[in-house]
Structure 1
Amino acid sequence: MPRSMAPRPSGEFNVRLTKPFSGKPTHVIDIIGEPNRSATIRDTKYDGSNSSSEKTGDADKEDVEELMSLITTLRGFPSHPSKDVYGFDVKLEFSTFEIQWCNEDDDPTAGDVSEIAGEQKDDFKRVADSIEALARQQAKRDAAV
């Protein structure tokens, strides 16, 4: 079920990947931008409660278009507020002008989330892997303090 948040201004989108699914994050990737333009990537790794490394970079227009195309495939996928239903220990959330989704949302229409189709798990993993790969390739500058 889509999140009931206010839409992002001016068509802006925000994609966030967090590891692990619950508890203190050890790795967070944020991608913020607007469709048909480049986007900013922030890749943060945590050691305890403090940021241990933070890298930034830019994704070009083509990478943004490809990422948005992949992310929209998750529209309508089931989610659960306390259970990692995809089994990859990853929380993925995105917010666009059209839709807000997170695999941690409370989705009363999801039914029995213990029986998520293998194809949906594969699609979820493909999106999460693409976000991580984009951060690895593009976020190489040390973040400003």
Structure 2
Amino acid sequence: MPRAVAPPPSGEFTVRLTKPFSGPPKHTVEVIGEPNRSASVRVSQYNGHHKSTEKDGDMPHDDVQELLRLVSELRGFPSNHTDDVYGQDAKVEFDTFEIQWSNADDDPSAGSISELAFEQKDDFKRIVQSIEALGRAFAKRDVAI
């Protein structure tokens, strides 16, 4: 079930990957931009509750389009705010003007993922790996913390 939050302004999107699924973050990848343009990528590592390193960079338009295509596959996937139902120990959040989704949303109809959703687990894993790869590929500049 999509979250009831205000959409980002003027077509802007945000894709955020946070590990682990719950508790203080240890690793985040955040992509912010607009469709049909390049986007900003930021990768942060944490030591406890504080950032220990942060890198950023720009992601080309073609990769932005591919990322948006990938994450749009998550539309309609079940979510659960307390359980890591996909088994990736990762939280993915996707906010656009059209959809707001996170695997950590409160979706009472989700329960646990059944065997019928094996393909969804694989798709989610592939998307998590793709977001991480984009962070490694494009976030190269050190950011002062």
State the TM-score, normalizing by the size of structure 1. 0.96
Query: What's the offset of the Cα at 1:114?
Result: 3.8
CA offsets, 1:51-94, max 9 Å, x none?
11100001100000000000000000000010000001000001
- Matched with 1:132 is 132
Does residue 115 (structure 1) correspond to residue 109 (structure 2)? The answer is no
Query: What's the offset of the Cα at 1:7?
Result: 1.0
CA offsets, 1:81-138, max 9 Å, x none?
100000010000010010000000011232x424151100011011111100000010
Query: What's the offset of the Cα at 1:50?
Result: 1.6
Structure 2 gaps, min length 5: none
- Matched with 1:10 is 10
Separation (CA, whole Å) in 2 of partners of 1:105 and 1:53: 28
Separation (CA, whole Å) in 1 of partners of 2:137 and 2:124: 20
- Matched with 1:32 is 32
Structure 1 gaps, min length 5: none
- Matched with 1:62 is 62
Q: Which of structure 1's runs of 4+ aligned residues deviate more than 3 A?
A: none
CA offsets, 1:20-71, max 9 Å, x none?
0000110011100000000000100011222111000011000000000000
2:65 maps to amino acid: E
1:46 maps to amino acid: Y
Q: What CA RMSD, in Å, does the superposition of the two structures yield over aligned residues?
A: 1.0
3-state SS of the aligned residue for 1:120?
helix
Does the 8 Å contact 2:86/2:113 carry over to 1? Answer: no
Does residue 86 (structure 1) correspond to residue 56 (structure 2)? The answer is no
Separation (CA, whole Å) in 2 of partners of 1:31 and 1:114: 27
3-state SS of the aligned residue for 2:125?
helix
2:34 maps to amino acid: E
Does residue 75 (structure 1) correspond to residue 94 (structure 2)? The answer is no
